Chain A
Amino acid sequence: MSFETELLDALGAATDTFDTRVTLRNCFFYDFTGDPLRVWDGEGILHADGEEWIGTMFRGPGGVTLANLHQTPEFRDPRDQASPEYEFGLPYLSKVDFEAIQADQAKAEGREVTRYKVIVKQGEGLRPDTALEFADKFVIQSVRFFEGLDGLPGESIRMRRASVVCRSVEIGRSLAPRSTYTDLSQQERARVLGENPDSGCAYVATNARRTFEVV
């Protein structure tokens, strides 16, 4: 069955009263140059769509909680939820990994990150029958690095993490009817899509660089 049919089946109709039990996880495809990475929010290797997805969940100390090594925070949009910016990170990197990522950061810029959703039914193990469902696509803008000391002097630990900043094609857009349109955001959007920017958009109607307020 397709993802949609599977999910709707599990949710049932408005008048149904059975429990909804669905395991729905994110799968991320980082299309780095030459070394594409596929990860999913689970434990172990998932076999879906003919590919292998590496699980990023692990048990924390004590073995009780499941923690995700792949940090995907809630999407952040300084405007009004119409132009999300995602920052994905890998925390607690070793010095070797950190320097390797720094050396290879050019492989990330301009590449795509695609998020899929997967339904894993009980009894399927790690080989789901349902096809992956496309969710979002982003373009990586840059890789950010952070290195710092944690703890008291003499007993401190050096922490390193790296994250990628990704933007979707909605960059610069806004939902509010009276919002601001700028030619700069139009050109940024063109760049994200890989098109040549158009300087003619500076003349777009009378909305260029103006903010309208209803009094």
Chain B
Amino acid sequence: MAYMPTIYDWRSTCRPRGFVFVAGAQAVSGGLSVGGAYGSNPEPGGRFVIQCEFPAFGDAQAVRDWSWTMSRAKGGAVFRVALWVNQQMVSADDLNGNRNGATWSNGQTWDNGQRWQFDPFEEVLEAALAGSTTIKFRSANHGQIVQIGHVIGLMDPDTAKYDFSHVVEDVEYDGGPATATISPPLRKRMAVGTLVRFRPRCLVTVQDPESLASPLEYNKFARSGGVRLVEALV
């Protein structure tokens, strides 16, 4: 029986004040070049890292969620994180969407005031093997909006259980389809029709669980240091 890790959802109340998604490649020292420059070589297929800073949580629900997250992280748990939105994502304006989410066709929200989740995507046009670095996807629906530096997401088509995020290192538009070079490389094969998400999700573990914990200020506010989430290879 294949081993499938238990995947926990990162709590929606635990949003960072700021984060950055840095793709692959721990660099290994390379040595002195002919010109006298000290260079480094990227680790092939290195994991991405998300560096976050969390604010102090005062809300009781958020502190409880933080308490759960800290304890789970200590066990090396794998979390599914729906990446919060920063300037690394394709902007909602380019996607002709309402960043707050869509309403029902009659213009109304749900009873509790919430809207449908904003989850824009395009489709992959050509199958790609695991370990390769290029994917080709449609750009007809939204136009040529994906640019270098954007973070996009993919979902494993075989099990529909795993999510991956990548940074676009290079993108070419040849008429309609976009061919993007991504980092880190594809962890699973991609089939035609797999969704490329513009509000990506990913699977991570907390690099250093100790960084999450620090005594609650006045026994009320949960504070933490900088947190590194590193890609979980499942």
**Using a CB–CB distance below 8 Å, which chain A residues touch chain B?**
17-19, 21, 23, 25, 42-47, 55, 57, 59, 61-63, 66, 120, 122-127
Contact = CB atoms under 8 A, between A and B. Distances in A.
B95 interface: no
A25 B45 CA distance: 13
Contacts of A47: 129-131
B45 A46 contact: yes
Where chain A touches its partner, the secondary structure class is loop
B26 A46 contact: no
Nearest to A121: B44
Contacts of A62: 207-208
22 contacts: A18-B34, A19-B35, A19-B39, A21-B39, A23-B41, A43-B45, A43-B233, A44-B185, A45-B45, A46-B44, A47-B129, A47-B130, A55-B233, A57-B43, A59-B207, A62-B207, A62-B208, A63-B230, A66-B43, A122-B42, A125-B185, A126-B44
B208 A127 contact: no
Given A44-B233, A124-B133, A61 B43 contact: no
A19 B230 CA distance: 32
Nearest to B47: A43
Contacts of A44: 45-47, 184-185, 187, 233
Chain B interface extent, by class: 20 to 34
B186 to A, nearest CB: 7
Most buried by A among B35, B39, B131: B131
Nearest to A42: B44
Interface in B119-166: 129-133
Contact of A59 (B45, B129, B186, B230): B230
Top 3 A-B residue pairs of the complex, sorted by shortest distance between their CB atoms: A125-B185, A127-B131, A126-B131
B30 interface: yes
Nearest to A63: B207
Given A123-B181, A125-B133, A63 B228 contact: yes
B167 interface: no
A113 to B, nearest CB: 23
Interface string B25-36: 010101001110
Contacts of B207: 59, 61-63
B34 A17 contact: yes
Nearest to A44: B45
B49 interface: yes
A25 B132 CA distance: 18
Contact of A125 (B28, B44, B230): B44
A125 B186 contact: yes
Contacts of B208: 61-63
Contacts of B187: 44-45
A97 B186 CA distance: 30
Contacts of A63: 49, 207-208, 228, 230
A21 B37 CA distance: 13
Contacts of B47: 43-44, 59
A46 B131 contact: yes
Contacts of A127: 129-132, 185
